[in-house]
Amino acid sequence: MVGNRSNGRSPGLPRGSATLTELHPTATNRIHQLAADGRTGALHISGRPGGVVYLADGRVAYAESPGTPGVEALVLRATRPDEVAWAATVASMQTRPGRKAAAAAAGELVAKGVLPPVQLDAAVQSATADALLAMLAGYGVTVSRTRFVDGQRPWVALGRPLAAGTALVETARRLRLLASVGQRVRPDDDIVRAAGAGPVAVRLSPRQWDLVRLCAERRTPRDLAWLVGRGVLATCIDVCELTEVGVMENAADPGGGGGWPAHRTVSFLAAVLPEAADRGVT
């Protein structure tokens, strides 16, 4: 599922992918067909980045893509606060064996009840929605073919699988959000901390501060999503907001932030910026 990347970054799409692809008809039509037939199994989508959609009686039970953190990343991140160890875990998940091992480790934690059921289901929902967007639409996304494996099941699934139509409508909604955010920041754009001088201070939430802290070197929103154990779209929205206030900037467009002066004094205080959660994105 996951290929090696020699630069240690998370698997995604090439930098500077400019073409925004709508929901791919080859994949979406196949999902609708399988749903209508009430099939149970896994639809493997080949392409860039590709992925797998798991169906249970024609309903979407889970989805995963090498381009997004799966539930295994979200579960393990919550239980491994050490930054160095977590960076090593993320690097290992860039290989097939590493991601399989991470899923097994996360499965053990889930079986032990480490995460409350509500929190686990929220993680499955987030990972599924993120993966569906990554493999079906977005900047530079391609679909070459699909292959259905009857009876194949995921290691974790939604408590209440989604109707295929509902899942695809949500994917289209997220695509519109991605297109809006993409006017400033795309998932695979290189992001850096903004540099400059000025007296203006900005208050950051703990979540935003984590992104700034982790951006000591060039990283993409996708890289950051893996490191913080959150969805790619939600992280992209957070990064976009940070570029708007001048704390971060797109390496390809330095100084191209919002209308605010560049900010040099950053306070780790209560959030005053809009939260992605308010937009229904996790």
Q: What is the pLDDT of residue 281?
A: 63
* pLDDT in the model for residue 256: 58
Which tops the pLDDT comparison, 267 or 172? 172
At a CB cut-off of 8 Å and minimum separation 6, what does 106 contact?
71, 72, 75, 76, 155, 156
Across residues 8-25, what is the average pLDDT?
A: 70
Q: Please say if the pLDDT value at position 265 is more than 50.
A: no
pLDDT tens digits along 122-155 = 999 999 999 999 999 999 999 999 999 999 999 9
Q: How confident is the model at residue 211 (pLDDT cuts 50, 70, 90)?
A: very high
Distance CA 3, CA 97 (A): 10
Sorting pLDDT into bands at 50, 70 and 90, what band is 173?
very high
Rounded percentage of the chain residues whose pLDDT exceeds 70: 82
At 185 the pLDDT is 94
The mean-pLDDT minimum among 39-48, 110-119, 271-280 falls in 271-280
Residue 48 has pLDDT above 50, yes or no: yes
Bridge partners, residue 52, by sequence: 44, 64
- Give the CB-side neighbour count of residue 114, counting CA atoms within 13 A: 15
Is 35's pLDDT higher than 50? Answer: yes
pLDDT band at 255 (very low <50, low <70, confident <90, very high): low
Q: Is 89's pLDDT higher than 50?
A: yes
- pLDDT score for 114: 86
Torsion angle in degrees (nearest 10) through CA of 130, 44, 14, 167: -30
Residue ranges per structural domain of the chain: 20-181, 191-279
230: which residues sit within 8 A by CB, 6+ positions away? 69, 74, 126, 282
Predicted confidence band at 217 (pLDDT cuts at 50, 70, 90)?
confident
- 13 has a pLDDT exceeding 80: no
What pLDDT does residue 282 have? 60
| Order of strands across the sheet that contains 142-150 | 142-150, 41-48, 51-56, 59-64, 162-163
